[in-house]
Structure 1
Amino acid sequence: MSFVNPDRRTLFLGLGGALAAPALARAQADSPVATTARGRLRGLRERGVCVFRGIPYAGPVSGRDRRFKAPPPAPSWTGVRDATHLGAPAIQPVGGPGAEPPPSEDCLFLNIWTPAADGAQRPVMFYSHGGGFTVGSGGRAYQDGANLAREQDVVVVASNHRLGLFGYLYLGHLLGPEYEGNQGLQDLVAALAWVKENISAFGGDPDNVMIFGESGGGGKTACLYAMPGAAPYFNKASIESPIGPEDRTPEEATDSARRLMKALGLTDPRQLLDAPAAALLGYQTGGDAQLTPGAQNRSRPQADDSRAFWPFIDGRILPEVPFKTGAPLVSADKPLIIGGCRDEAVFFFLFGDKSVFRLDDAGLHERLKRVLGPGSDDWTAAFRRTRPTATPSQLFMAILTATPWRAHAVRIAETKAAQARASVYSYILNYASPARVPGTDFAMGSPHASDIAMKFDNVDAAAPGGGFGADSSEARRRCARNMSTLWGSFAHTGRPAAPGQPAWPAYTLPGRETLLIDAECRVESDPEGEERRFWQARPDAEQIRY
């Protein structure tokens, strides 16, 4: 029989406890826990920040009783819920990367990156992903919020929300007022309300929230900026390369629902509540969507219905087309950043016919005529005057960046400046990437979506926001640090600034001050003056589609 001296045993246990304590502390530090109004969450510590993924900010939105309605309240739970994995993205035509779960109707999850879940009062940066109103998610690597949160001492939040037909099919005129419509936008408001209630547990200040987004996310941010339901939940905004929404009425949205029913061979709109998700997505994408023998053979939406499942102007949830006739009064006192990329159009031709990057004069004429119609030669002449050394392909990209991208951004800046209630800051991402469009000698420049990696300081992340020709130059890294710092400082104070860069003045109608963001930024007054005057004389400049 062995015997352990009590003193030695005490010493042994004491040493064991001492040795175990650092390991336990490390484990706790690597598995941060935050307490929300609905229950406790366990996240991860990675890349110098605490990350919480797949947090439900609202309840299920699938099934006969919930589909196409406003999001219900978030569920509660007991114990500690695992928040280390991404939640499902919205149903959409293309799948995401392997790190994400399969798309699902029940997609109302958000992700949080924070320096510490410590109860501090850091600014909150609430991001709406791009992809029009039909694709994307808040879990893509190029918009990972770790670097932004760590470097700028902010809390970054990104959500999944309903997209396409599931987010914007309107049944209010067919099934009654509980089907309010614009449910994808209502999801974003629910996510912002969740942030207001819970973000202090993640080290965020619920009274200092910045909303921002690019492309479709810029359109969503513009909608939020105009929505009374969102107004209590944010203090400032950045709208980046925005698209949509358009001036669609409830009647037009109802017509889209009727066309869907006809294509599926349905006679009762309540049948849409039980229709297989795959069939609904098939209609949206133009695939085989027939459900009954009486269905039309052609299920693709009509050409004039191509944006049928985007937001519509319902008069209450989204009462107006943001910035169409003026800046939204509901956000008059909230400062705004607005701008886009110098070479937006390049992105939209990266994945198709590369001959557009090798145009001659005849090819330029033919291509522009397809998009701009009989007035295309006027555009060419105007842009040749301002860009006399540009190649035909460079002119093509410049014109299709001006219309609609720059035209839309300038109008937003003008209307906000004219309102004269809060500052608006105009920018162009001016970084000229030397990387070539694959298979061509055409320089990439700053295409649409290249700003995502810049804002998040993720220039090493995968495409589309981080790749763009694998340009890993020091100049690109400096540009990314400048842009992420400008956005971070705006989140803190409402005034964007970056050390070593010129002061960014507010946009005024006399001066049209615009920051050209680059490795070394500069301020210009009305940088596209002659071109701007040309496109503003053409009432259709923001309606171009390609």
Structure 2
Amino acid sequence: MKLRRRTVMTGLLLPTLSGFTRQQRIDHPVAPTTNGPVRGYRDGGVTVFKGIRYGADTGQRRFQPSAPPRPWADPADAFAYGPASPQTGPELNQSEDCLFLNVWTPGLDAERRPVMVYIHGGGYSTGSGSSPLYDGTRLAARNDVVVVTLNHRLNLFGYAYLARFAGPAFADSGNAGQLDLILALRWVRNNIAGFGGDPSRVMVFGQSGGGAKIATLMATPSAAGLFHRVATMSGQQVTASGPMNATRRATAWLDALDLPPDRAADVANLPVDRLLRAAEITDPVLGYGSLYFGPVLDDRTLTRHPFYPDAPTQSAAIPMIIGNTRDETRAFLGGDPANHALTWDDLPGRMTLANMRIDVAPEGVIAAYRAMHPDWSPSDVFFAATTAARSWRGAIIEAEARAAAGTPAFVYQLNWTSPIDGGRRGAMHTDDIPLALDTVAAPGSRAQGPQAQPMADILSGAFAAFARTGDPNHPGLPAWTPYDLTRRQTMIMDVPPRMEDDPRGGERRLFARVPYIQPGT
């Protein structure tokens, strides 16, 4: 929902104004922003603002950098989430006018609370900051922090690279979605003090695509200084898309639209649905899946790869948490019953490039796993190898790069397993979302059973402590030390949690001999 202007200001802005009762002023407090005042509502002990506009309608600037909104004078209602970026995902409310954010705060006062900005997942293609799993009420209330979620341009609207054939107006099209995030973080820097937050203690955290977006921001010059702690959850970005592969994808997309390259600028005026449908063709670089759109090494917004050939010096001093789940790919591959009933004869044929995401002969991988874990079934090997090769591998590369630079990260692996499906899906991709955000009771949460809330207390407590001080240690954890290249210390998030040195060390060494390029790039 767009912010709606109102013609009457509340007493919190104009104390002598007689148009509102005292109760209305309490129930719907108003906060100032650099664009105009916004009116929220109370939810228990937390004040909530949903759908605050931080950027102008991107439909007017399709494939161009986002811009601040036109200022307003009267308080704008911030009672409902704003639209998500156009996408093929299940979001019901979609619009190119999608640059909105949401704030949960314990108080509109002079306190300078840590700020936790959550960037949603869904790759670079789907999702929004409006999921019930991302609701910031409990996290804010229980930890005295300010929580922010946001929407930004996704898929082709945020990352289609048209610079090489569509003229100067589209020079930044390959990173438009990242520029939206930077605009949102500038809004936080400029406004969060009015919501009881500390602009000098801004933590960005995100899962899957959200973590990957954050890793990219860590190497983006225009994002420097906008955040002060980082936590990525099953989301890493070692390399960005090269400009030639990004151009190849854009060319394939234009072909699907029946547009020659010299008419590429026409995409600025075509219907949204037509643009999205055309992007469903098979990716010409990967050879599987629909078109990949993600950050591009364009030498404008992004001038280096996020974590290649090393950790970015621009963000070296920023404390970082890097997390993954033990059974990442059970989220993607565990829904197929055949993958739970594999034989040793079946297994090589299942370990394809599409499933492993690296070019390696399956026979050697299988032999190595059977030697390391002789009691494992073929299905156990399948899920472990696909996780280690395509998901966990990028996180380890980032952790080792930070350690090599002398600025080690805190590393965790989620082992705690929800009893859903009899536990057969393991600790899979996305399982740490409700634990980190303390939303285990929210619709869509997989975190169930008697240990779900204790596990959420442990992980959300670590994230809140990290936002406050840059150190995730708290009374619910054993001593969590940063990852170094001698011990490779890793917090195993379980009930109870424990520290381990180099968990999955055999798998790390097995795949270290195979070159890694971020899937999709």
Q: Shared topology, TM-score over 0.5?
A: yes
Displacement of 1:24 after TM fit? 5.0
Q: Contact 2:121–2:127 (CA<8 Å) still a contact in 1?
A: yes
Query: Does residue 508 in structure 1 map to residue 484 in structure 2?
Result: yes
Aligned counterpart, 1:51: 48
Selected match of 2:38 from 35, 41, 66: 41
Distance 1:57 1:245, change over 3 A: farther
Query: Does residue 285 in structure 1 map to residue 280 in structure 2?
Result: yes
Query: Does residue 498 in structure 1 map to residue 474 in structure 2?
Result: yes
Per-residue CA deviations over 1:481-525 (Å, capped at 9, x if unaligned) read 100000000000000012132011011111111101112111111
Q: Contact 1:71–1:190 (CA<8 Å) still a contact in 2?
A: yes
- Match of 2:482, SS state, is coil
Query: Does residue 349 in structure 1 map to residue 344 in structure 2?
Result: no
**Amino acid of the residue matched to residue 420 of structure 2?**
A
Q: Contact 1:221–1:237 (CA<8 Å) still a contact in 2?
A: yes
Q: Contact 1:283–1:301 (CA<8 Å) still a contact in 2?
A: no
Aligned counterpart, 1:251: 244
- Any gaps of 5 or more consecutive residues in structure 2? 1-19
For this pair of structures, how many residues does the alignment match? 493
Aligned counterpart, 2:68: 73
Moved more, 507-516 or 166-175: 166-175
TM-score (norm 1): 0.86
Selected match of 1:271 from 258, 266, 269: 266
- Match of 1:226, SS state, is coil
Selected match of 1:162 from 148, 153, 159: 153
- Match of 1:302, SS state, is coil
**Amino acid of the residue matched to residue 355 of structure 1?**
A
How many angstroms apart in 1 are the aligned matches of 2:135 and 2:323? 21
Displacement of 1:245 after TM fit? 6.5
Distance 1:454 1:76, change over 3 A: same
How many angstroms apart in 1 are the aligned matches of 2:498 and 2:23? 45
Aligned counterpart, 1:293: none
Per-residue CA deviations over 1:177-201 (Å, capped at 9, x if unaligned) read 3321210000000000011111111
- Match of 2:168, SS state, is coil
Paired-residue identity, %: 39
Aligned counterpart, 2:435: 454
Selected match of 1:335 from 295, 304, 319: 319
Query: Does residue 365 in structure 1 map to residue 341 in structure 2?
Result: no
Moved more, 385-394 or 67-76: 385-394
How many angstroms apart in 2 are the aligned matches of 1:481 and 1:386? 34
Selected match of 1:106 from 97, 103, 122: 97
Displacement of 1:218 after TM fit? 0.9
**Amino acid of the residue matched to residue 284 of structure 2?**
Q
Aligned counterpart, 1:225: 218
How many angstroms apart in 2 are the aligned matches of 1:275 and 1:450? 38
- Match of 2:451, SS state, is helix
Per-residue CA deviations over 1:24-54 (Å, capped at 9, x if unaligned) read 5544332121111111111111143111111
Alignment of 1:189-268 (within 5 A): 189-244=182-237, 246-267=239-260, 268=263
Query: Does residue 427 in structure 1 map to residue 412 in structure 2?
Result: yes
How many angstroms apart in 2 are the aligned matches of 1:26 and 1:354? 56
- Match of 2:425, SS state, is strand
Displacement of 1:375 after TM fit? 1.5
- Match of 2:147, SS state, is strand
- Determine which structure has more spread, i.e. the larger CA radius of gyration: 1
Displacement of 1:544 after TM fit? 6.4
Query: Does residue 417 in structure 1 map to residue 399 in structure 2?
Result: no
Displacement of 1:132 after TM fit? 0.4
Q: Contact 2:334–2:425 (CA<8 Å) still a contact in 1?
A: no
Displacement of 1:170 after TM fit? 2.1
Distance 1:151 1:434, change over 3 A: same
Per-residue CA deviations over 1:370-401 (Å, capped at 9, x if unaligned) read 64576212212222233232222122111111
Distance 1:103 1:430, change over 3 A: same
How many angstroms apart in 1 are the aligned matches of 2:283 and 2:388? 28
- Match of 2:382, SS state, is helix
How many angstroms apart in 1 are the aligned matches of 2:478 and 2:21? 48
How many angstroms apart in 2 are the aligned matches of 1:43 and 1:174? 45
Displacement of 1:301 after TM fit? 4.5
Name the Cα RMSD after superposition: 2.1
Alignment of 1:109-124 (within 5 A): 109-124=100-115
- Match of 2:420, SS state, is strand
**Amino acid of the residue matched to residue 76 of structure 2?**
R
Displacement of 1:303 after TM fit? 5.4
Aligned counterpart, 1:29: 26
Per-residue CA deviations over 1:176-232 (Å, capped at 9, x if unaligned) read 333212100000000000111111111111111111111111110101111111112
